[in-house]
Every structure is written in C-alpha cells, then in structure tokens.
Amino acid sequence: MLLNKKVVLGVSGGIAAYKAAALTSKLVQSGAEVKVIMTENAKKFVAPTTFQALSRQPVYSDTFIEQDPKQIQHIDVADWADLFLIAPATANIIGKLANGLSDDMLSTTLLATEAPVYIAPAMNVHMYSHPSVIKNLMQLDNWGFKFIEPGEGYLACGYVGRGRLEDPDTIVRILENEEDNQGLLTGKRVLITAGPTQEKIDPVRYFTNPSTGKMGFALARQASKMGAEVTLVSGPVNLETPPNVKRIDVVSAEEMFEAVTNEFLRHDIVIKSAAVADYRPRHSYDFKMKKKPGDYAVEMERTRDILMELGKVKQNQYLIGFAAETNDVEHYGEQKLVKKNLDAIVMNNVSEDGAGFAYDTNASIYLTKTGKRLELPLMSKDELAKKILIETAGEITGDV
C-alpha cells in the first residue's frame, strides 16, 4: 500500500536516529519515494549522507539553503508529501508541533503540510510520562495527528520501560495498514453517541455517571479518518470536537433521544457508546431546594430506551451498542444484542483496571449477530475504535 507513496521522514535528535536509517531503507523497499528532513541534533547521531544514499534523494536540514531557487524549500516539500512521518520524535519536536513553533526545516515543514502526520515518539521513560509531554501528545491527538506508540524495552539511558522507538518493520507495517484503511468508510454516514447524560433534580443538583466520552470521541475521530461523514451526539464532556465531525451537544437522556432519533434514518452506521441514564427524577424543580430535617427521597421514572427504539425502527442501518457491565459481561451483552435487535455489541467489564470510564485505554469483547466473536485486549481507545470500525466495514461489505 506504500507503492509510489511520497513519504517525508522527519528525523529528530535522539539516539534512535540510527533506526531511522533502517526505516528509510524499509520504506524505499516497500515502494515509497522518501525525502528525509533532519534536525541539527539528528546530524550529530547520523550523517546526512547515510540517508541520501538510502533514499536516493537530497536530505534537507537548513531552511535557508534553497536547493531550487524557483521554489520555497519547506513549502515545496510540505506540498509534495502524501504522508509525513516523524521517527524518532523527541519531546522537543513534539513540543514544537503542539505549540506552533517553527525554527528549523523540520518544524516549518510540519506546520506547512496538509498530509497526514504520523508521530513515532522515542525518549526516556520518565520523559515520556512527564505531564508536559502528555499534554502535548493529547493536544496533537485532539488535532488528528496519528501516533505509532513506542515499545517497551531496554533504553539507551539504561532504563527499562516504555519509550523505545518502534522497530522499522513494524512502523512500515502500521503505515501500510493505515493506508489500506484510508477511505474504508468513504461514502458512509456514521452516527455516534458519547458521554454521560445529566438528569436534573433542581438547578444545582443532578444524577449522572462517570463517563468522560473518550470512547465515543475516539470512534468519531477514527471514522472521520476513514472517510466517513460523522455526526457525534454528545452529553456534557470536556473534549475537543474531532476534525471534520459534526457535533450535537445534549444534556439529558430525553434530549439525546430526540437528537438521535432525528438523525437516525439518514445514517448508515449507528454506534451508541454513550452512557445514558436509565432513570430520571419524576419531578424536577426550577429553584434550588433547601435542606429540611430528616431524609429526602427522590422518586425516579424510566427514561426512554434509545437503543431499543432504534432497533425497532432500523431499516438498513448497521446498529452497534455498548454494554458496560461489572459481572456476567457476556451473558448480559448477548441478551442485549438479541433483545435490542443489534447487529453488533461491544462488551466492557468496567470494573477491570484500565478499562471503562475515564481511562485512555479499554478492553472489550466484540460480538456480532452472525456469531463472530473477538476478544480485544487492553489497548488505547483510539486503537479499539479503529478495530471496531474495520470490523464494521467488513461486515457491511461482506469482506470478513
């Protein structure tokens, strides 16, 4: 899938720069045309002539040395790229990109390119977990940059842990798979729900749940990257809207019901990952209730079951539900799949460490009405979203 692809490889100044030489060779062998940009610090680890020999292309490192006076170098390279890969990506270049800084050839070209950018971090394990680095990575993730996560192992600094640049063969395979998935959902309209709902008692009190919306937003982000037209109906969350996604904000279960049912019939794929309240106060008040002696009981009534109603009226839509359970996960999930007329269900045990609400990771069991069952171990929510959408595309096209 990389045959004839124009790849810009950005090499920043870390010891893992030596792996970028092998990566250049692997990319060329896969059929890609590769241009390398090096930072000044990268040149202290590997000579530019190495990359020139491997890529059979000029190597760029100085914004002010114009190899062709008819063109502005960093703009020309930025426009040339089909995809942009930073490997290794140091904390420095990640910080520059996240904060819009451009003081060398690599950073200026990154700001100018409209090609998909893949970031392969490599640094000390403590640097990788530093709050400032995490903040910068999260910012880039929210903007739609793609990541090739570092592996765990022995690092050059002597530590053992996460931070080692992924192996060149693996990076190339990931890029090939990503390119293969580009356009997988082109022409499809995808409706996704995310986050919690809030059921009001009075202006300052409400019932809710711990959902942060991360799973639904990951699904929206990945569906958009695969070419889908995405509508995201979200409860109250503190997340940025993914690029190229239409967002509808709601608060209560009833508002989410109305928004989803209004949008449902015009969509091809519907994924309900929101944690919608099953009950709401029968009576709510427009004024703040004052404390009174003794106990206070709130009478609750059922909210409308969004997924059940969608299952009743669906036509050609592929309908996916989520089941967040703490015990008998598959038993309850299978019941929900049948009872609500779903095409597939994603079952989570939210009592497990690293899975469920608020985490950046999740582990699931994916089950379809045709009996296909996949165990999806603990992984990032974006990676899980990607796997769910690939499976969904395969089910729709019959390519499973």
Q: Which residues are catalytic?
A: 157
Query: SS3 for the chain, per residue?
Result: CCCCCEEEEEECCCCCHHHHHHHHHHHHHCCCEEEEEECCCHHHCCCHHHHHHHHCCCEECCCCCCCCCCCCHHHHHHHHCCEEEEEEECHHHHHHHHCCCCCCHHHHHHHHCCCCEEEEECCCHHHHCCHHHHHHHHHHHHCCCEECCCEEEECCCCCEEEEECCCHHHHHHHHHHHHHHCCCCCCCEEEEEECECCEEEECCEEECCCCCCHHHHHHHHHHHHCCCEEEEEECCCCCCCCCCEEEEECCCHHHHHHHHHHHHCCCCEEEECCECCCEEECCCCCCCCCCCCCCCCCCEEECCCHHHHHHHHCCCCEEEEEEEECCCHHHHHHHHHHHCCCCEEEEEECCCCCCCCCCCEEEEEEEECCCCEEEEEEEEHHHHHHHHHHHHHHHHHCCC
